[in-house]
Amino acid sequence: MTVAYDPQNIFAKILRGEIPCVKVREDDKTLAFMDVMPRADGHVLVVSKTPGRNIFDLPEEALSELILRVQKVARAVKTGTGADGVTIHQFNEPAGGQSVFHMHFHVIPRWEGVPLRAHGGAMVEAAVLETHAAKIRAALE
């Protein structure tokens, strides 16, 4: 069964400017901003501006545009944070670990031997997120 997209989800509200976020990158197709519950310092979410719940219903063209932005952000996250690598996560439906039902990718910097913090763990204040965002923005091509 396909579940309908709900335009009242939190990322749709961020896209409409109804609630704040710490922005990293924006263009006409996508928005990248800091995850408020980061699994590592520098954890970014890349969100499609096309309404879609997840991989099952996002139109192909929007998915193509989104993954190309994920690559740009991943490069900037690695360079900007000085990470050894980057983990990309994308969850679909509650059973798949998804909690916000607007299509997005997680871009998470990784350092050798450092485990990820919990998914959906402690919230970090905007001023701290901004210090990481500034480094990532500076590394964007």
Shortest separation between residue 36's beta carbon and ligand DGP, angstroms: 4
What is the rounded end-to-end Cα distance, in angstroms, of the chain? 41
Q: Which is nearer to ligand DGP, 10 or 63 (CB)?
A: 10
Name the residues that contact ligand DGP, by CB under 6 A. 10, 21, 33-37, 45, 91, 97-100, 120
- Has 104 been annotated as catalytic? yes
Q: Which of 43, 102, 104, 106 is catalytic?
A: 104
CA separation for the pair 46, 24 (Å, rounded):
9
Q: Which is nearer to ligand DGP, 34 or 74 (CB)?
A: 34
Q: Which is nearer to ligand DGP, 125 or 141 (CB)?
A: 125
Please calculate the CA angle 106-21-13 and round it to the nearest 5 degrees. Answer: 90
Give which of 75, 87, 85 is closest to 140, Cα–Cα.
75
